[in-house]
Chains A and B, each alone.
Chain A
């Protein structure tokens, strides 16, 4: 198993109970000027985290600024990651320290970007999402287990739900392989395809 691989994540979670979180909120465009992939975590949700863009003036009520919430799992409202295709959004979430994002619905491009960065998007039912929010807010020390091999998400001492992921992607995540590795192994096939068109 290489360092990127994901298998079982057990952690407390951060509840972001907002719907339609777009990638401009996750990482505003003015922070996209970097030419490498690192360091975007410090600007994650920048304009929701700080008043007037000032790191000394945190918005006290924003979840990332509430000390009681922490962990490797972000639980978010439905239609998470809509809007711009910027992969910087997935980089920022991963760089901040999350390994899993849970929602009842993800935007397509964000979902692919997350998977390509070993950030696991877990789709749960609206009902289960509601349960997660209620449980975390009632007790921020509550742990959640996301088990990729068995495709289950479980609230400590309570409910559990299964989630979908294609066999291909599951194998990639468990082994730390990315799509480029796969495509590079298919070069001969791609060249043959080019000749056929």
Chain B
């Protein structure tokens, strides 16, 4: 019987199926970080258990770390304690840790792929919902809660109901100035913040095939923002070229053997999906969000939707609430609005390609003096590569300062936050109320749109800076 890629990988990892219950799913790789793991280790300790397969878990510190002066002790006591607890737990249980100061440290979803730990066909979990990022390599990767982190540590398995499968086909050529972040924001705006709940998504089509691995990761990363359990893309030559020679990728004869297996990882031609969605790449503009969930997005030349025009009462109330929080009115254009902050970073857009893309835009131009900009590479390796390629000079000459790796202002947890009431055009993935700090107002966008905004001080259409005509 023909099968989807998702089903093939899932079935290979089922240890046991419980009648009218979940499957026991074997996990190949488990990533952990300081925020969602301490209670899991405490649970193990309480039960007197070791970590079952310590070589299959990798730890890093990313969510709650400063992005300036990482060489000094963390100032805030609770944050310091949380990071120290991770170090302590990893040492005690024999788990490899890429902590602060380690050359491999960084945002968990940036380091897994760049180190070659993430490999096609694997099952991967992490106590973080953006684990879906790893799906770009043709893996089943998804976020879990702390109880499930404990299960994985204790047994290398979790219990999961098998989700339904949806395919999203993106076909055609992208307009200049439109990048992968715009594709995913466009998809989420079409399907809504809950439209893929209960599904695992496979992204397919000629547009997806034409993207680099970094761009594919950006797309899979935001699968959770439409409610999907995860997102995946079948591996191909782009995937294999990216992986070859990476630190923990297979080498030599091992590589050849794996490659043969990986080449078979795709949905059968006649596989049936529970749902399919078709997107025309030519319809996509540079995107921005106007509301407080990632489904509330629009093309940069559109106007904010008017709640008073909505028929459904609960939808009307929801939109009113979002716009009140954001300080926007229905019918307004956002392009040209003054904003106080720009954040470039997060597991969505902090890879080397994002920095190359921004550097080519800002080269020879100057940052607007009216705007605060935070630029945060996803990992130590990305930070080192920026210097190696001389991109740091371009940033400095344009008046931008590059901070040290971490989740930074993506989540309003560590020192980096957006001040109350202020706007921030952000390359991260969530525009929830208070996500970047209490009462902060987040506008999600691509790295190009964020960089264009940093140059002008206003929400900008990057196509005008690139001298291409908005379609």
Contacts and interface: CB of A to CB of B under 8 A. Distances in A.
Interface of A: 18-20, 22, 24-25, 28-30, 32-37, 47, 52-53, 77-79, 82-88, 90, 105, 107-109, 112-113, 116-117, 166-169, 178-180, 182-184, 186-187, 189-190, 193-194, 197
Contacts of B314: 19, 77
B128 interface: yes
A116 B146 CA distance: 9
Interface in B142-172: 143-148, 150-151, 154-161, 163
B456 interface: no
B39 A85 contact: no
Given A180-B150, A180-B151, A186 B194 contact: no
Contact of A35 (B15, B39, B144, B435): B39
Contacts of B36: 85-87
B241 interface: no
Interface string B21-51: 1101010000000011011001100010100
Given A33-B82, A82-B193, A113-B146, 11 more contacts: A19-B318, A28-B438, A33-B78, A79-B194, A82-B227, A86-B35, A87-B39, A105-B197, A166-B161, A186-B15, A190-B155
A164 B217 CA distance: 35
Contacts of A82: 193-194, 197, 227, 293
A183 B22 CA distance: 12
Nearest to B143: A85
Given A20-B318, A22-B293, A82-B227, A117 B147 contact: yes
Nearest to B420: A52
B72 interface: no
Given A25-B433, A77-B314, A184-B155, A20 B193 contact: yes
Contacts of B128: 84-85
A85 B127 contact: yes
Nearest to B146: A87
Given A32-B413, A182-B159, A83 B198 contact: no
Contact of B38 (A35, A85, A179): A35
A184 B160 CA distance: 16
Interface of B: 12, 15-16, 18-22, 24, 26, 35-36, 38-39, 42-43, 47, 49, 63-64, 78-79, 81-82, 85, 127-129, 143-148, 150-151, 154-161, 163, 193-194, 197-198, 224, 227, 229, 293, 314, 318, 321, 411-413, 430, 432-435, 438-439
B60 to A, nearest CB: 17
28 contacts: A22-B293, A25-B434, A28-B434, A32-B35, A32-B64, A33-B81, A35-B85, A36-B42, A47-B433, A47-B434, A47-B438, A52-B438, A82-B193, A85-B129, A85-B145, A86-B145, A105-B197, A107-B194, A108-B198, A112-B160, A113-B147, A180-B43, A180-B47, A183-B159, A184-B155, A186-B157, A194-B156, A197-B12
A169 B19 CA distance: 11
A183 B39 contact: no
Contacts of B163: 108
B280 to A, nearest CB: 27
A183 B16 CA distance: 10
Contacts of B160: 112
Contacts of A113: 145-147
B324 to A, nearest CB: 13
Contacts of A30: 412-413
B293 A190 contact: no
Contacts of B321: 18
Nearest to A48: B433
A105 B314 CA distance: 14
Nearest to A24: B432
A22 B154 CA distance: 29
A113 B35 CA distance: 16
A-B pairs, 6 with minimum CB distance: A168-B21, A87-B145, A35-B38, A29-B413, A113-B145, A116-B147
B235 to A, nearest CB: 19
Contact of B155 (A36, A84, A186): A186
Contacts of A77: 314
Given A105-B197, A107-B194, A29 B21 contact: no
A108 B81 CA distance: 31
A35 B41 CA distance: 10
Contacts of B24: 183, 186, 189-190
A83 B434 contact: no
B293 A116 contact: no
A116 B160 CA distance: 12
Contacts of A29: 63, 411-413, 435
B26 A193 contact: yes
A166 B20 contact: yes
B81 A35 contact: yes
Contacts of B293: 20, 22, 82
A37 to B, nearest CB: 5
A25 B438 CA distance: 10
A14 B154 CA distance: 37
B42 A35 contact: yes
